[in-house]
Amino acid sequence: MKVPVVFMALIVLLVAGCSSLILKPGNFSWPVESVLKVDSKGMVHDERYSFSLNVKELLFVETQDSVNVSKVTLRMIRDVRGYYFLTAPKFQNVYVFEQAEGSLKLSSKILVSQNGLNDPAFNLRSPNIQLVNEKDPPILLSKEGVVEGGKK
């Protein structure tokens, strides 16, 4: 009779040890966008968030140029769910990335300007991200794309 009780206790402990620990709710947003100058190696660094990233592949996808990377200034912000939004002047798209092991993985690409952005800026409009570009109406974004009613 003691063997089944011990066996059941062992199974309960084993199953409890395998369950995931979830800490929620969490807010991963950056209250202010980061303006990041790309260096000659294609790297951006943000001291405030202890963040560095190689963006050469992103620049090549958007501009078809991976040589003149040091002339680019990226705009980056993070939403409440932890997704990173990136764009830059002359970009047609906003790129949404999610964190992966030692990297960022593309989650979605949002077309925001057929002619390219002139002077983009991000604002946190929780839970979404607002993209402002000079005199254009602001666009409200989520990781899925343009939020309905986002243009004002």
The answer to the question of residue 5 being in a domain is no
Q: What Rg, from alpha-carbon coordinates, does the chain have?
A: 21
Domain around 119:
24-146
The answer to the question of residue 15 being in a domain is no
Contact between 125 and 119 under an 8 Å Cβ cutoff? The reply is no
The answer to the question of residue 77 being in a domain is yes
| The predicted structure's pLDDT at residue 10 | 60
The count of structural domains within the chain is 1
The answer to the question of residue 151 being in a domain is no
DSSP string, 61-125: HHHS-SSSGGG-EEEEEE-TTS-EEEE-TT-SEEEEEEEETTEEEEEEEEE--SS--SSEEEEEE
Give pLDDT tens digits along the chain (152 positions): 555 666 666 665 555 556 788 888 888 888 899 999 999 999 999 998 888 999 999 999 998 887 788 889 999 999 999 999 999 999 999 999 999 999 999 999 999 999 999 999 999 999 999 999 988 999 999 999 999 544 44
Give the pair of three-digit tokens for residue 65.
Answer: 């140029």
The answer to the question of residue 4 being in a domain is no
The answer to the question of residue 13 being in a domain is no
The answer to the question of residue 8 being in a domain is no
| The predicted structure's pLDDT at residue 144 | 95
